[in-house]
Amino acid sequence: MQDRDQNPDPLRTRELLVNRRHFFGVGAGALGGVSSALGQLSLGSLMLGGSAKAASDGNLGALPARTHFPAKAKRVIYLQMSGAPSQLDLLDYKPGLRKHFDQDLPESVRNGQRLTGMTSGQTRFPVAPSMFRFSRYANNQDGAWLSELLPHTGSLAHELCIVRSMHTDAINHEPAITFFQTGSQIPGRPSFGSWCSYGLGSSNENLPAFVVLISQGVGNMQALSERFWGSGFLDGKHAGCKIRSGANPVLYLKDQAGIERKDRRRMLDLVGELNEAEEARSFDPEVATRIAQGEMAYRMQMSVPELVDLSDESEATMEMYGPNVRKPGTFAANCLLARRLAERGVRFIQLYQRGWDAHGNLPSEIRQQAQLVDQPQAALLRDLAQRGLLEDTLVVWGGEFGRTVYSQGTLTETNYGRDHHPRAFSMWMAGGGIQPGIVYGQTDDFGYNIVENPVSVHDLQATMLHQLGFDHERLTYRHMGRDFRLTDVEGRVLKELLVS
């Protein structure tokens, strides 16, 4: 209740915590039983259904609705291109630039915009047109132009909603990704996936609602902080769970040699008792999280091996994703895993592909980077579509910002670099009730400024939440005396992009 933050009376706080403990007791009762999911879910339902009283009353009010209105998308697969791919070489076709090769970017275009320290010292800003050929693919409008680097993705242009008018406030990787993921450049807010987990809960109690998969790139790789998928001030159990490649997909999940599953059960029961005693003493909500996570891990010991075992995938499917799919930890393997997670009811699947930060040698780096993602991401879309999953899975692809039209460093006909560019860049979405086969928004002739239909990060988040069944202004969490939202105080649902 609100009082906890607003009312500093320690007795009142204590009373609330006592009740809170009572509240967790509902879950704890069943934890030791055969079906620990009962406790988990009844707990989840209490939290998500709003009033706990409603749950105890037993009529239909007991059942959480979770969403504000019927959802178009049941889950999100977010393909985050870490480092920020160049929109000019992939999605934002600017053939006119070819005539301006190596000319100075007109000051009227840049208009005094701030630059990063990496190019602010440059004496000139020569225009670097893309050296890649573009092709026009059929969509539901007059076609979409995509670069030769994305032939597979292009061939599915009729499924994509390409947004060429994204803009962000941040100019460096860390705050920009933080902004995209949490709605704020300043760390500490919950990640999108955590909001999803908080709002929607899982539809599979054996897997976390928010899963993170990371693949390495070939280009310049920026660090990925774990807090990108952190739960901020939400309960720790809403944090993203990273699934790794190799023998231990989830760290510390495997039992040590000689430990049997029943031993693990007994250990969990005992530790659970101690934790409960500690919680009774300290009222620390993190202890409750700890108990829940222990139980989740116990269930994941069964569900994760089945998840990562690809032996039931057909040869045709594997082939569709390309040769890398057999190498665990690649983007291809992660895309396949994402589809398997989607099938199993995971709500938010966050992939990171590192290596897009091409300040120099962009042509060679982006060629290899694109090769890593193009076929697998197209295969993911096709795989989802043929399983009838694309209609309620929202796939989002994009970096944290764009790249400059002018070259960073030396510009030659076969080599150039591009610096960070937050003012205009491209992303795409597919499925989940987003209109397929359209291109939205437009940039100027230099691809530098947006001239039509700008889309802010908060707009994108509001739209995604809308598809998940949430009014972004009402999915809130009270913390430190105010209600927080993913979209902070902004965001507009882009109704024009939605399937009516």
Partner 1 sequence: MKELATIDWADAFSRLHPVLLHLPIGLFVTLIWLQLISVFKGLRAGARGARTGLVSLLMISTPAAAISGWLLNEGSKYPDPVDLHKWLGVGLAVFSLVLGWAHFRGSKAYTPLLWLGVVLVMATAHNGGTLTHGEGFLTDPWIEQEKPKQPKAPVAASTQAKDAGQGLPAATLTELATNDSPAAPQAPAAAVAAVPYEEVHSVMEDLCFRCHGERKQRGGLALHTVDAMLAGGDSGPALVFGDPDASLFLKLMRLPADHDDHMPPVKKTQPEPEEIALLERWVQTSSGQESFPSLVSEQPQAPEFAVEPGEDSFESEPAEPEEQEPAVPAQEEPAESPAGDETGTYFSSLVARQAHVQRVAPNSDSLWIDFSSSSLKPGELPGLLAPVSERVVELGLSRKALNEADLRFLGSLPALAKLDLRRTTLEASSGTGLDLTHLANSKSLRTLNLAGTALAPGSLDAIAKIENLQTVSLAGTGLESELPTLRERRPSLQINLGSVPREALEVEPEVKFERVSESE
Closer residue to partner 1, CB minimum distance, 267 or 310: 310
60 binds partner 1 (CB under 8 A): yes
Which CB, 138 or 270, lies closer to partner 1?
Answer: 138
Binding partner 1 (rule: CB under 8 A), the pick from 124, 261, 326, 327 is: 124
Closest to partner 1 by CB, 5 vs 284, is 5
Q: Which stretch binds partner 1 (CB under 8 A): 55-63, 113-121, 244-252, 399-407?
A: 55-63
* Window 470-489: residues binding partner 1 (CB under 8 A): 470-471, 474-479, 483-484
Q: Is 306 in the site for partner 1 (CB under 8 A)?
A: no
CB of 144 to partner 1, least distance (A): 10
Site residues for partner 1, 395-454, by CB under 8 A, read 413
Token pair in block for residue 290: 């700890």
Cα four-point dihedral sign 112, 115, 117, 122? negative
If binding is defined by CB under 8 A, does position 310 make contact with partner 1? no
With binding defined as CB under 8 A, does residue 249 bind partner 1? no
The CA-to-CA distance between both ends of the chain, in Å, stands at: 37
The secondary structure of residue 98, as a DSSP letter, is G
The Cα–Cα gap between 284 and 290 comes to: 10
Strands (E), 199-304: 210-215, 241-242
Under the binding rule (CB under 8 A), the answer on residue 492 touching partner 1 is no
Answer yes or no: are the C-beta atoms of 396 and 348 closer than 8 Å. Answer: no
Would you say 203 or 368 has its CB closer to partner 1? 203
500 binds partner 1 (CB under 8 A): no
- Residue 492, both tokens: 């507009």
Told to check if 498 binds partner 1 by CB under 8 A, we report no
Interface pick for partner 1 out of 58, 112, 246, 258 (rule CB under 8 A): 58
What own/partner pairs with CB < 8 Å and gap ≥ 24 does 473-482 have? 474/68, 475/68, 475/195, 475/199, 477/190, 477/198, 477/233, 477/234, 478/2, 478/5, 479/5, 479/233, 480/5, 480/233, 481/5, 481/6
Contacts of 495 (CB under 8 A, 6+ apart): none
Q: What angle do CA 466, 145, 410 make, to 5 degrees?
A: 105
Q: What token pair was written down for 12?
A: 């009142």
Q: Which residues pair with 349 in a beta bridge?
A: 77, 211
Q: Are 415 and 361 in contact (CB under 8 A)?
A: yes
Q: Which of residues 348-367 bind partner 1 (CB under 8 A)?
A: none
Q: Which range in 63-71, 253-261, 328-336, 352-360 contacts partner 1 by CB under 8 A?
A: 63-71
CA distance 142 to 131: 24
Q: Name the segment binding partner 1 (CB under 8 A); options: 171-179, 384-392, 394-402, 441-449.
A: 384-392
Q: Are 192 and 182 in contact (CB under 8 A)?
A: yes
Q: Does 2 bind partner 1 (CB under 8 A)?
A: yes
What are the backbone angles phi and psi of residue 173, rounded to the nearest 5°?
Answer: -55, -55
Letters for 192-221 (x = contact with partner 1 by CB under 8 A, - = none) are -------x---xxxxx--------------
Is the Cα torsion angle 417, 419, 423, 429 positive or negative in sign? positive
String of b and e for 419-449 (b: at least 16 CB within 10 Å)? bbbbbbbbbbbbbbbbbbbbbbbebeebbbb
Give the nearer residue to partner 1 in terms of CB position, either 171 or 434. 434
How far apart are the C-alpha atoms of 331 and 319, rounded to whole Å? 14
- Contact predicate 119/172, CB 8 Å: no
Looking at the Cβ atoms of 168 and 206, the one nearer to partner 1 is 206
Q: Which of 345, 368, 399, 439 minimizes the C-alpha distance to 217?
A: 368
The least CB distance from residue 401 to partner 1, in Å, is 25
By CB under 8 A, how many residues form the interface with partner 1?
104
State yes or no: residue 266 binds partner 1 (CB under 8 A). no
In the complex, minimum distance from the CB of residue 286 to partner 1, in angstroms, rounded to a whole number: 14
> Binder to partner 1 among 75, 94, 110, 382 (CB under 8 A)?
382
Instruction: Considering the complex, state which of residue 118 and residue 389 has its C-beta at the smaller distance from partner 1.
Output: 389
Contact 318, 337 (CB under 8 A): no
3-state secondary structure 396-419: EEEECCEEEEEECCCCCCCCCCEE
Q: Smallest distance, Å, CB 222 to partner 1?
A: 29
Q: Indicate which single residue of 27, 28, 31, 37 sits in contact with partner 1 (rule: CB under 8 A).
A: 37
Residue whose CB is less far from partner 1, 66 or 264: 66
Site string for partner 1, 311-350 (x = CB under 8 A): --------------------------------xxx-----
129-168 residues near partner 1, rule: CB under 8 A: 129-138, 143, 151-152, 154-159
Residue with tokens 């670097």: 128
The answer to whether residue 10 forms part of the interface with partner 1 (CB under 8 A) is: no
Nearer to partner 1, 9 or 226 (CB): 9
Of 133 and 262, CB closest to partner 1: 133
**497 near partner 1, rule: CB under 8 A:** no
Closest CA to 130 of 426, 377, 382: 426
CB of residue 383 vs partner 1: minimum separation in angstroms?
A: 8
Q: Which of 205, 231, 243 is nearest to 285 (CA)?
A: 231
CB of 459 to partner 1, least distance (A): 18
